[in-house]
Amino acid sequence: MNCLFPSLSAAVKRTRRSIALKYLGLFAVTAVGTAAPALGAERIYATYGPLEVAVPIESLALFAKEGTIDSTWDGFAQYATKEQLEQFRLALQARAEISPVTVAQFLYTPQGEVLLERLGRVIQTKARQPGFYAIRAALILAAADPEGLTVVNVLRKFPTYGIRIDIAGGLDIANRLTTLVNRSNLAIAGVIQLSEAAAAAEPPAIPAAELRKAEAPGPYTWQKTSVTLTSPDRSRSFPVDIYLPQRSPKPSPVIVISHGLGSDRISFEYLAKHLASYGFAVAVPEHPGSNAQQVQNLVSGRAREVAEPAEFVNRPLDVKNLLDYLSNLATTNSVYRGNLDLQRVGIIGQSFGGYTALTLAGAEINFGQLDKDCKAENDSWNLSLLLQCRARDLDRQQYNFSDPRVKAAIAVNPIISSILGETNLSKIQIPVMVVAGSADTVAPAWLEQIQPFTWLTSASKYLVLMNNGTHFSTIDESPQSVFQLPRAAIGPEPALARRYLSGLSVAFMENYLNGRSNFQPYLEPNSAIAVSRGAIGLRILRSLTPQQLQQLLTPSPAPSRPAVPLPAPEPQPVPVPR
């Protein structure tokens, strides 16, 4: 056939090569997210239009173990580079340390089922049926197997004879991901460029050693007290740790720290202690419907979701109840009387806690935006949208959690683009700091922090970028965690990220709660560059408009070059008819 139809053969080869290169990368991504009982899968059928390649799973197992490419797929693999094949092999070898019960419980949550439905469009049974149930079974069985949750084991556990992977559908997903990544990279690079331009226009930065004093402990000792509060109008009790500075000359401003989904009070204990050493009274509530215990309840079967929709209401109410409790303490308790200033309150929240902080700052739940954005929930690779869209099941009413006692807010990796949206974020008028991580794959910086920052209208706002920071960089390890995150998810130098957040929090709250500018320089763009070190860089931007962001997302065309005249063609002999 190749001799009879050379042009078709070349086209097919080019197509196969393109498919092979993309498929190897795609498979490494998709199959990780997707492995034998005796009747498990034996082959993978990769299809692209009329083309189909069948690869025995044991051939992939051999490649993963020994690096050997046997004859069943060597023609397919020849189109990949050595580096691509090595990446593919590493993906096949990767093992996730997670229990089958944890896997099973998550895959039966609404968020897990959305991901399964998405994967099931691409990874199908041999009979071209969606792979939803087969993928779920394979993941659970692989996690229970002594070999653990690896790609090869998941493939082996797939409960049909063959696995069909739709390359066209997979490439569509890959293209969507590529678009998201490219636009995120443009936005992040643009923020870095603008912040460095702002830094260049400022006076020389204060020496880094002087600036970093905000990262060092302050002069005050503190006393920690733990209490359990019961909401007066809700069937809800929650624990709180209170850090009270000792021998403060005047009433201390209060700062509340709200943890993220699956975390607890210990996750930000380091930050509470740091702020208390500067004379702030710090209260750290634990939100019972979205803490580490809730994840444990999910694993043990006592909960059906990672977080019920009611948590979008309960979390802000926890903070309001806590502030009411502290107000009462300030007047009735001898230890706290005269030591708390409840008219100067700051709030700091991470992830779900970032949402919590900004609702207390003045933003309301935006059901209209949720209805619009959640239509594309099954196609979006903004993972935080899976949680935000659960709020649609709340009673449709106006939820206003704004609290006039809150005078400043810091939102770290917040999930806010849809649940709060442009209209409601623009209502916030108090000073706000939004902290993003360039390597955040849970709440992507472009969608969840950079773009929402352009919607803020507060006169005092800060966008902080931790370059190479992830969604988990600022979270300290807690003994209550159900499982340990892999190093890659935490990212490089989390201790450095925590030092940055400590310095930023002290400088911001000193400035906007105490009215003292002694640490204000730490918040300037040139200072962010000066204090940066190690694997995580710090950048700060004070202003960014939607129009500027749109320009950042539109790459400049390559400069045109003057046309070079082509040489005149040489005379060719005229063919003589025969």
| pLDDT (0 to 100) of residue 132 | 82
Compute the average pLDDT of residues 320-331.
96
Per-residue pLDDT at 229 exceeds 50: yes
Mean pLDDT (whole number) for 238-253: 95
| pLDDT of res. 6 | 31
- Provide mean pLDDT across the span 259-283: 96
Beta-carbon contacts of 12 under 8 Å, excluding residues fewer than 6 positions away, are 51
Q: Give me the DSSP letters along 519-541.
A: TGGGGSHHHHHHH-BTTBEEEEE
436 to 97, 411, 441: CA distances (angstroms): 28, 9, 11
Percent of the chain residues past pLDDT 70, beyond the cut: 85
Whether residue 148 has pLDDT greater than 90: no
Taking the complete model, does pTM exceed 0.75, yes or no?
Answer: yes
Phi and psi dihedrals of 435, rounded to 5? -110, 130
Q: Given a cut of 60, is residue 284 above it in pLDDT?
A: yes
Q: In the predicted model, is pLDDT for residue 576 greater than 60?
A: no
Q: How confident is the model at residue 201 (pLDDT cuts 50, 70, 90)?
A: very high
Greater model confidence, 312 or 297: 312
Lowest mean pLDDT across 1-10, 143-152, 260-269, 363-372: 1-10
For residues 106, 386, 469, 181, the Cα torsion angle rounded to the nearest 10 degrees is 120
78 vs 547, residue with greater confidence:
547
Average pLDDT for residues 286-315, to the nearest whole number?
84
pLDDT at position 483 is 61
Q: Please give the structure tokens belonging to residue 557.
A: 């065309």
The count of residues in the chain is 578
Is 50 exceeded by the pLDDT of residue 34?
no
Mean pLDDT of the chain: 84
What is the phi/psi pair of residue 229, to 5°? -100, 145
3-state DSSP call for residue 253? strand
**pLDDT tens sequence across 87-101:** 888 888 877 767 676
Of the chain, the end-to-end C-alpha distance in Å amounts to 30
The SS3 call for residue 143 is helix
At residue 230, does pLDDT exceed 90? yes
**Which residues lie across from 409 on neighbouring strands?**
347, 432
Going by pLDDT thresholds of 50, 70 and 90, the confidence category of residue 299 is low
- Return the amino acid letter for 272: A
The encoded tokens of residue 162 equal 């063959």
Please tell me which residue, 193 or 88, carries the higher pLDDT value: 193
Q: Kindly indicate the confidence band of residue 571, based on its pLDDT and cuts at 50, 70 and 90.
A: very low
For residue 518, give Cα distances in angstroms to 348, 377, 515. Answer: 21, 46, 9
Q: 3-class secondary structure for 212-252? A: HHHHCCCCCCEEEEEEEEECCCCCCEEEEEEEEECCCCCCE
pLDDT of 369 above 80: yes
Res. 568: pLDDT tops 70: no
Q: Distance of alpha carbon 569 from its chain centroid, rounded?
A: 58
* pLDDT tier for residue 578 given thresholds of 50, 70 and 90: very low
User: What is d(CA 418, CA 452) in angstroms, rounded to the nearest whole number?
Assistant: 10
508 neighbors 462 (Cβ within 8 angstroms)? yes
Comparing CA positions, the residue from 205, 168, 188, 143 lying closest to residue 51 is 168
Least confident of 138-142, 224-228, 284-288: 138-142
How confident is residue 557, by pLDDT bands cut at 50, 70 and 90? Answer: low
* Residue, of 32 and 171, whose pLDDT is higher: 171
Interval 126-130 mean pLDDT: 83
pLDDT at position 42 over 80: yes
